[in-house]
Structure 1
């Protein structure tokens, strides 16, 4: 697994959901904050997105894609003016009428925000990816395929649509990494030494890694690896490995009924006791309580 795939897989819960919105004339709707990530694809027409908290309004045109990776509340409207007129999204049932017709695919991804990978954590509240000719062709292809599935509802659409929505999420994150001028993780994944080390850790997190072994895998000295990895990632290689192992263990506890011994082994801990000790120190609860739904910290 690569870092982006792992980062998404560790927090994703269940299948994404989506709704088609077609309106016209004067309209304004509010989408409440959500424990996950929201997205919109403009299939036809155009509108405005106004983030909660006084953020700058964003104008959206046909083919544009917008991701709200932290589930921020926002308003969609025909104009960026008075948002007090907004009605809840669930009540936007009236047909289009008058003015320019707007058609959107609006959806949500269910995400577990208790252990968000730093790559996803640094995404801004709103990621706007305009429909520019030649930019991100894979994203454009996913949008085109989504539009067809939404329109035609052909046999197999119940499987095709959520799969395409998952693909859309990956392409949106990729596009942001390509265009980001401020994020640190695009720089992390463009550095060959750090990328080689991360690829090794994510490919086999249970291996008996040491700084020397990881440096050999990356083809540099231990000091060089420690310096570059720590500066770019924000923590030393072995600290990152511990964090990632415990994140994997938490995901397995959340998503499966695997015995604790199996979870410990897959996460690189020799015994259930060793995992329990590290897990309790990091999360503030035992693995058993975590699996049962007990409270946890998100350090």
Structure 2
């Protein structure tokens, strides 16, 4: 994608879409949990984000820190991990079952629930009658670009059913109990769509305490500069060139960008380039030199100096700390493990 300072930004890069791309469902854990009061579930999946909704009944979410949060039927709840949290019919109800990435139907002490829980496809029936029905899907973190989103979210956020239409949620509720070809891919994409719609509604609500990088997009000058940088991070940008693209002087862009984003344009660009490089090191087998050129550095040495300054380790050491799945077809900088 090319950024043309004179002719516009090809594709009009959406910063929120790019950030959301760093937190994407792939092999997400899904369960429906049917319960009769009194009920309480302790979630300890370690997932960075969990999206859930009460398809039937209401609940309380008790985060690791902070006050209990009331959740009504069909509200969408996004819980930021990896800290455990509890969902219950009442804040005073002690957890009876433990939800982990290995078992959604275990007793609170971690032992097998045995016959007291009826297990069906992606469903745990924990009590006769099933007055309450909770649907939950856990989303994985894909890289450092996603960290910018995670850092902007509270421990628990609730999008009220009255505030947003989520047709994908109805499809998700239907598909979670099916087992057709490609079922996991269908569920993953529906979870992505529901998460994106819910977050867009949450960020866009009146009086929202939005992160700087999101709110800055509303500024005609800063938003333009951000789109230029994200459209072509490898371009050898100068402050003068970026200011010309945004239609203001260098001094004006520097003041306005820093005030809205929290750091100067070139420092923001450096952080974005290093985050991109970290994700490419994690998700591809491209050489450090190839990654360096893709994100705007002349060679592997230049990237290594900047990377070590920010992370304290060289790119090769960062890569060694992440397990990379088996390689797929190469195309430029090849991706691994699918998308």
Coarse TM-score class (shorter-chain normalised) = 0.7 to 0.9
CA distance in 2, matches of 1:47, 1:242: 44
* 2:225 corresponds to 1:183: no
Partner residue of 1:297? none
Indicate yes or no: 2:105 matched with 1:75.
Answer: no
Shift of 1:15: 3.7
2:15 and 2:29 map into 1 onto residues whose CA distance is: 24
In 2 relative to 1, CA 293–12 (structure 1 residues): closer, same or farther, beyond 3 Å? Answer: farther
1:78-227 to structure 2, matched below 5 A, reads: 78-83=89-94, 85-89=95-99, 90=104, 91=106, 94=117, 95-97=125-127, 101-111=131-141, 117-132=147-162, 135-137=163-165, 140-179=166-205, 181-185=208-212, 186-227=214-255
Rounded to whole Å, the distance in 2 between the matches of 1:166 and 1:109 is: 8
**Is 2:299 the counterpart of 1:288?**
no
- Aligned CA RMSD, in angstroms, stands at 2.3
Contact 2:19–2:145 (CA<8 Å) still a contact in 1? no
Residues 155 and 44 of structure 1, relative CA distance in 2, 3 Å threshold: farther
TM norm structure 1:
0.87
| Cα 1:111/1:64, change in 2 over 3 Å | same
1:56 aligns with 2:67: yes
After the TM superposition, which parts of structure 1 deviate over 6 Å for at least 4 consecutive aligned residues?
none
SS, match of residue 237 in structure 2: coil
Match of 2:28 in 1: 16
Q: Residue 78 of structure 2 contacts residue 158 of structure 2 at CA under 8 Å; is this kept in 1?
A: yes
8 Å Cα contact 1:64-1:130 kept in structure 2: yes
Q: Is the 8 A contact 2:258 2:265 kept in 1?
A: yes
Residue 125 of structure 1: how far off its partner (Å): 1.0
Cα distance between partner residues in 1 of 2:176 and 2:148: 33
- Could you tell me how far apart the structure 2 residues matched to 1:102 and 1:235 are? 47
- TM-score normalised to structure 2 length: 0.78
Q: Contact conserved, 1:17 with 1:162, CA < 8 A, in 2?
A: no
Q: Secondary structure at the match of 1:79?
A: coil
Report the CA distance shift for 1:149/1:175 in structure 2 as closer, same or farther (over 3 A). Answer: same
Q: Which consecutive unaligned segments of at least 5 residues does structure 2 have? A: 1-12, 108-112, 118-124, 323-339
Unaligned runs of 5+ in 1: 295-299
Cα displacement (A) at 1:119: 4.4
Give the match's secondary structure for 1:48: strand
How many residues align structurally? 288
TM-aligned CA deviation for residue 153 of structure 1: 4.2
Rounded to whole Å, the distance in 2 between the matches of 1:110 and 1:221 is 41
Return the offset for 1:236. 0.3
